[in-house]
Each structure stands twice: as structure tokens, then as C-alpha cells.
Amino acid sequence: MFVRVKDKSTGHKFDVPESDHRIGKSLTALSKKDYPPSPVVRRPKHHLDLKSKQSAPSKAEKPKEEKNNG
């Protein structure tokens, strides 16, 4: 059977065999109520930290604002 886990460093959720030695170390087992053990591997859910990927406004946008204001 496969259980759903979450990688502590990346936040990705995926299935591993119940006997995987990483459970409790680098992987956190998720609730069996929400993710019951499965005989087949389920699709992974990748965690994307979009908040930390935001960039500053580009310099090209400032002239457009100046033209609209004047």
C-alpha cells in the first residue's frame, strides 16, 4: 500500500510505500482520514512558492505611466 506524504523541504505531496525509511525524517505522513492508503500511486501535487518569486515592476512600465499622467 502507498501512503501520502509531504516533503519537508519542498512542500510537494506524493505517495510512497508504507515502509519507506524517509517517513518521519525528511517526509511527513499526511492524515489517513484525508488520504487513505492506496494500492496504486496517486498523482503528485507540487508546491509552488509563488509569493517569493515576485519581481519588482519593470522600468518599461514607468514611461507609460508618465505619458498617461501628462
Q: Is 55 a member of any domain?
A: no
Of residues 21, 20, 23, 16, the one with CA closest to residue 41:
16
What is the pLDDT at residue 48?
87
Assigned domain for 63 exists: no
pLDDT per position as a tens digit, 34-48: 999 999 999 999 988
Q: Which domain holds residue 18?
A: 1-47
CA torsion 30-43-47-7 (nearest 10°) is 40
DSSP state of 51: G
What is the tally of structural domains in the chain? Answer: 1
Q: Return the pLDDT at 64.
A: 54
**Residue 39, in any domain of the structure:** yes
Residue 18 lies in a domain: yes
Has residue 42 been placed in a domain? yes
Instruction: Assess if residue 11 is contained within a domain.
Output: yes
Q: Does the residue 65 lie in any domain?
A: no
pTM here is 0.68
Q: Please say if the pLDDT value at position 59 is more than 80.
A: no
Query: Is 9 inside any structural domain?
Result: yes
Strand partners, 45: 13
